[in-house]
Amino acid sequence: ERPAWFEANAALAQQLFDDGVPVPRRDEWAAKFWSPISIAEAHWTREHVAMYDMTPLTRYEVAGPGAAAFLQRMTTNNVDKSVGS
Domain assignment present for 84:
no
pLDDT at 26: 77
Segment 2-15 shows an average pLDDT of 72
pLDDT digits (tens, 9 = 90+) for 25-58: 778 787 777 777 778 888 888 888 888 788 888 8
Model confidence at 2, in pLDDT bands (50, 70, 90)? Answer: low
Compute the 3-state secondary structure of the chain and give helix, strand, coil in percent, each to the nearest 5: 40, 0, 60
The C-alpha angle with vertex 51 and arms to 72 and 4, in degrees rounded to 5, equals: 90
Q: In whole angstroms, what is the distance from residue 48 CA to residue 13 CA?
A: 15
Burial class (CB in 10 A: 0-12, 13-18, 19+), 2: exposed
Domain assignment present for 2:
no
Segment 64-77 shows an average pLDDT of 93
Structure-derived torsion over alpha carbons of residues 12, 13, 18, 24, reported in degrees to the nearest 10: 150
Q: What is the pTM of this model?
A: 0.48
| Number of domains, the chain | 1
pLDDT at 53: 80
Parent domain of 21: 7-74
